[in-house]
Structure 1
């Protein structure tokens, strides 16, 4: 888990752009030592009249939220670095389109998080390494 959920108005993001975003999001986390298969990116397109901002139907807009359970930033500096990296993923796609885009990041407690019924091995470095290498949950 991280999970990125991207809501956008019809046509605001192309299939190629979604592929690019998902690849960059996955890279962001794998560089932080998170297995690629933990990274989930969902795209939800909203038709005309299905996306409102300020009480008005919008077009050419994106709102996304990021949910984290694996790790939380260890400092304010780390939090700001992460926000900059999010910007680096999304700005190349969305910034060129002069559209409104907005996001929130939510940190959740790990206590309820499970993969295939297992507690992810954040506290077991040897097992985590195996999960990274195989890119799948290995029973432990």
Structure 2
């Protein structure tokens, strides 16, 4: 799945890999053996309908499952939405998309 399929410039996608040591991660007060967290800040666009949200989350899980399950890695994902008006790049208002 490419960003271009959704009408977004590639520069609108940023990926950060932040590794935390096990003693710095707690789930339910316990340290999980292996955990990956995916946090998506969804600003460039809104999900048009609940079905689009379900489609996106399924597509994300479909990408992660075959990579993480065989390795015994648990994962969680969260999508955090914000109004586009609150998004700036180097103090500049971002261009319209689509």
* TM-score grouping bracket, smaller chain normalisation: 0.7 to 0.9
Aligned length: 98
Query: Which structure 1 segments of 5+ residues have no match?
Result: 1-23, 126-140
Verify: 1:60 aligned to 2:29, yes or no: no
Query: Which structure 1 residue ranges, 4+ long, deviate > 3 Å from structure 2?
Result: none
TM-score after normalising by structure 1: 0.62
Match of 2:25 in 1: 51
CA contact 1:68–1:108 (8 Å) conserved in 2: yes
Query: Which structure 2 segments of 5+ residues have no match?
Result: none
Match of 2:92 in 1: 118
Question: Could you tell me how far apart the structure 1 residues matched to 2:22 and 2:80 are?
Answer: 28
Verify: 1:100 aligned to 2:74, yes or no: yes
RMSD of aligned residue pairs (Cα, Å): 1.8
Verify: 1:91 aligned to 2:65, yes or no: yes
Cα displacement string for residues 17-42 of structure 1 (whole angstroms, at most 9, x for unaligned residues): xxxxxxx6xx2x22211111110111
Verify: 1:70 aligned to 2:44, yes or no: yes
Residue of structure 2 aligned with 1:80, choices 37, 51, 54 = 54
> Secondary structure of 1:86's match?
helix
> Secondary structure of 1:44's match?
coil
> Secondary structure of 1:46's match?
coil
TM-score after normalising by structure 2: 0.86
Question: Could you tell me how far apart the structure 1 residues matched to 2:52 and 2:5 are?
Answer: 14
Shift of 1:115: 2.1
Question: Could you tell me how far apart the structure 2 residues matched to 1:95 and 1:72 are?
Answer: 30
Tell me which protein shows more strand as a share of its residues: 1
> Secondary structure of 2:92's match?
coil
